[in-house]
Amino acid sequence: MTVLVTGAAGFIGFHLVNALLDRGERVVGVDNFIHFYDPALKQARVQALLKRDDFSFHDLDVGDPKALAALFEGYASIDRVLHMAGQPGVRRSITHPWEFIRSNIDGQLAMVEAVRQLPDFKHLVFASSSSVYGDSKEVPFSLDNRADRPRSLYAASKRAAEHIAATYSHLYGIPTTGLRFFTVYGPWGRPDMAALLFIDAVMRGNKLWLFNGGNLKRDFTYIDDIVAGVLAALDRPPAKDREGLPYAIYNLGNHRTVDVRDFVKVVEAACGKPAKVEDAPMQPGDVHVTYADISASTRDLGFMPRTPIEEGIPRTVEWYKRYYGVD
């Protein structure tokens, strides 16, 4: 049988496709190369994947229900989906709100509408975000925490996607798992996120802007740990909950917070260069802390992150030097 991975040209999707192929799965990947960051990086990921056997790729917008339905018709063997596609970016959601509705809400609806038509479908796993917790003061972020006060449209769109998936699970019995990711970083990472932004600034001798004067804490999670968690979720479709829904939500994070200024020190050590730090005000839509309670994902999925930033950041720096040719 076959796994569909949406957002296959993206950071997490790329690593998931590789991991699935490594364990002998047949994989269909889709992406529409949204120009949120340099599309050359996305193209490079896809070109690397296309060198592997048992992988096929389609340039497709998951927000287009007809195109998505046609894809499933062309691959009758698809029985599981890792729906990683979506528009990321807290600050961009303030300036480009319609992109987030199209990708994160229309795309989610198109996906659940498509899979509900499949007679032997096994499991839909989709990407959510720690952003749904807003600027919660209850830490670590537990699944019992409130998630109804988003600080950005990005967060609101991800929470809406969770509700859409839960509704379809209830109506049609679709086995569905949502995964709330916490600040994922690593090789082939998104250049708009802190790890690559900081590494790039230090390596090139540019200013490194620390929002809120660096008085922020993040639950930085290495990509290999995230991949292990996603695959564990994929292999364990949820049992019916107390309301009879085969639906579950989990946090996937490192279960520890790191002060952003301490994170900069680890980046400096890995790069072998000092950072030119400049303080900046808190950004609209941002939050002060992210911190994952992973007790449920450890209990049900065996999820146990193993990579501290002291290991993950040097690996990311080495990839950065090779890919960008900067030393």
Closest Cα to residue 286, out of 101, 158, 196, 152?
Answer: 152
Q: Rounded distance, CA 45 to CA 314, Å?
A: 21
Q: Rounded distance, CA 225 to CA 181, Å?
A: 11
Closest Cα to residue 18, out of 55, 43, 68, 44?
Answer: 55
Mean pLDDT in order along the chain per 10 residues (327 residues): 97 98 98 86 97 97 94 95 91 83 94 95 97 86 88 91 96 97 97 95 94 86 98 95 89 94 96 92 79 96 97 98 94
Residue 296 is assigned to a structural domain of this protein: no
Nearest-5° Cα angle at 305, 179 to 153: 35
The position carrying tokens 């992973």 is 294
| Residues 6 or more apart in contact with residue 269 via CB below 8 angstroms | none
Residue 262 is assigned to a structural domain of this protein: no
Residue 112 is assigned to a structural domain of this protein: yes
Residue 64 is assigned to a structural domain of this protein: yes
Domain range enclosing 104: 2-187+220-253
Residue 167 is assigned to a structural domain of this protein: yes
Residue 314 is assigned to a structural domain of this protein: no
318 phi and psi angles, rounded to 5 deg: -60, -45
59: domain CATH number?
3.40.50.720
Residue 205 is assigned to a structural domain of this protein: no
Closest Cα to residue 168, out of 98, 83, 86, 103?
Answer: 83
Number of domains the chain contains: 1
Residue 237: CB atoms within 10 A of its CB come to 17
185 flagged as catalytic: no
Q: Rounded distance, CA 263 to CA 51, Å?
A: 35
| Residues 6 or more apart in contact with residue 275 via CB below 8 angstroms | 198, 201, 202, 208, 264, 267, 268
Question: What are 168's two structure tokens?
Answer: 């379809």
The one catalytic residue in 37, 133, 154, 185 is 154
pLDDT at 305: 97
316 phi and psi angles, rounded to 5 deg: -70, -40
Q: Is the distance from CB of 131 to CB of 152 less than 8 angstroms?
A: yes
Residue 309 is assigned to a structural domain of this protein: no
What type of residue sits at position 261? Answer: R
Q: Report the greatest alpha carbon distance in the chain.
A: 57
Q: Which secondary-structure segment (H or E) carries 166?
A: helix 153-172
> Among positive and negative, which fits the CA dihedral 277, 280, 283, 289?
positive
